[in-house]
Structure 1
Amino acid sequence: MAETTQLKLPLVQASQAQKHVTVNAALMRLDGLAQLRLQSASTATPPAVVVDGACWFVPPGAVNAWAGQSGKLAIGDNGGWDFLAPQVGWRAWIVDTATDALWDGTAWQPPLMAASPSGAASRMQVLEFDHSLGAGATSTTTTQVPPNAMVFAVSARVSTAITGTLSSWSFGINGSEGQFGTGLGLGQGSYCTGLLGAPTTWYSATPLKLTAVGGDFAGGAIRVAAHYYTIELPGL
């Protein structure tokens, strides 16, 4: 069947019977692709209920109705799925991670601040994760800020009240324990803005460190967001 170049919308043929079928198929695909919103780019199992127009990205290892369709978009269509390969440069909002993304031909990447024809690029990124505190005087995150990152801030908010014998806590890295904040509160909702006066570059993967002041941690949890800049080298 003849179709358009960019969105692969089916075209009505001369003297075609049941033209409404082709037109409706084109409209359904257009409804899924316009202002592209991906429900997820990592879920490998199709939802039990197919919503017409809802769009998903099919990751490697997908099963059931998505088996063999990895790397494509799956658009809900009349109880089934319409599959289409994304084009390089397409942007999408990924609902389950609340992130903007750019398709580079291989994966959904954070959007670029700037890029060159040979692939050099600048990106501003945010790494968000939750960290639970155990008993002790310090607590180090298992999640690390990636290497070669120019860090502008590491912010945090107490998601579960911090308990223990401490009166406050400091937030930083090993050797600079108060880099992002000192005298921080213990109650749920307490926060640390963590802005640096000047950005600092970490050339190796770096965990973050919480230090109890005036006692020890017993429990609690925080949500962390590392705000940093990265570059990509030009290709040959």
Structure 2
Amino acid sequence: MKLPLIAAAQAQKHVTHNEALARLDALAHLCFLDRDLAAPPPAADGDTYLVAAGATGDWSGRDGAIAHVRDGAWQFLEAVEGLTAHVVDEDVFVVFTGGAWRVYAALLAPVATLAQGGFGSAVRFATLETQLSGLAGPHADTEPIIPDRAVVFGVSTRTVATVTGAASYDCGLAGETSKFGGSLGVAAGSSNAGVIGPTAFYADTAVRLTANGGSFTGGAVRIAVHCFLPGVPG
């Protein structure tokens, strides 16, 4: 965190020590009240902001800096690799990596290991996504997105381009066309969290969208499979 150190035989050691504590107080539990402001708002001691591009006023020339109020004045601090912060107005966590602040959730992998045994066995959870575009015909299938030996807890969908030719659609499997949701909305922005009782799959399996009230003539739907993946011992 680039805290200042007390030099050997330094006079007025409390100045350096207090500066280090003040920086630590600002950075160790970092909370940005906002990260989209280019002009400094009215603020009280302890308030902290991430300065947006095009900064003006007391923030001029401080684009991307951490702006912290101490003793009634703005103090500017630099981020270091791996620093994390909570953005209060968005209720998200961000991480400083690769020279930029990135939303933590966007850095997560599609498959996460939650526990692992000494022989390499593992408990993994996955969110596997795909998109079906240019829908046509009575139904449309994804690639085999559900993995062999997966335990599925649900399949969620979002219509990202208005589905045409059908009054609604079902989301399911070839033999269970509405397993994950029936009569789903064709308008862009419609969504469904198709939770089910945990269901085991013993082969790679495609998800199917089935048209209701006509055949698909267009549209796009994003699909996400939410599942558990066991990892066997090595």
TM-score range, shorter chain: 0.5 to 0.7
- Alignment of 1:149 with 2:169, yes or no, is no
Distance 1:180 1:133, change over 3 A: farther
Q: Please name the residue that 2:214 is paired with.
A: 215
Give the TM-score of the pair, scaled to structure 1. Answer: 0.56
Instruction: Report if the CA contact (8 A) 1:133-1:139 is conserved.
Output: no
Q: Please name the residue that 1:5 is paired with.
A: none
The offset of 1:145, in angstroms, is 1.8
2-structure distance, mates of 1:110, 1:180: 21
Question: Partner amino acid for 1:117?
Answer: G
2-structure distance, mates of 1:138, 1:170: 9
RMSD: 3.7
Residue by residue over 1:107-151, the C-alpha shift from the partner in whole angstroms, topping out at 9 and shown as x without a partner, is xx8332222122111011111222114321111113522221100
- Alignment of 1:200 with 2:199, yes or no, is yes
Which secondary structure does the structure 2 equivalent of 1:207 belong to? coil
Instruction: Report if the CA contact (8 A) 1:156-1:222 is conserved.
Output: yes
Q: Please name the residue that 1:122 is paired with.
A: 123
* Aligned partner of 1:32 among 81, 94, 97: 81
Q: Please name the residue that 2:170 is paired with.
A: 170
Aligned counterparts, 1:99-114, within 5 A: 99-101=107-109, 110-114=111-115
Question: Partner amino acid for 1:31?
Answer: V
2-structure distance, mates of 1:34, 1:217: 48
Instruction: Report if the CA contact (8 A) 2:138-2:215 is conserved.
Output: yes
1-structure distance, mates of 2:172, 2:157: 11
The offset of 1:233, in angstroms, is 1.1
Moved over 3 A (4+): 53-56, 93-97
Distance 1:145 1:232, change over 3 A: same
2-structure distance, mates of 1:158, 1:231: 31
Question: Partner amino acid for 1:169?
Answer: Y
Instruction: Report if the CA contact (8 A) 1:154-1:225 is conserved.
Output: yes
Which secondary structure does the structure 1 equivalent of 2:81 belong to? helix
1-structure distance, mates of 2:151, 2:107: 20
Instruction: Report if the CA contact (8 A) 2:124-2:230 is conserved.
Output: yes
The offset of 1:212, in angstroms, is 0.7
Structure in which a larger fraction of residues adopt strand = 1
Which secondary structure does the structure 1 equivalent of 2:214 belong to? coil
Unaligned runs of 5+ in 1: 1-29, 36-52, 57-74, 77-92, 102-108
Residue by residue over 1:175-196, the C-alpha shift from the partner in whole angstroms, topping out at 9 and shown as x without a partner, is 1111011111111111221110
Question: Partner amino acid for 2:194?
Answer: G
Unaligned runs of 5+ in 2: 1-78, 85-94
The offset of 1:99, in angstroms, is 3.8
**Count of paired positions:** 161
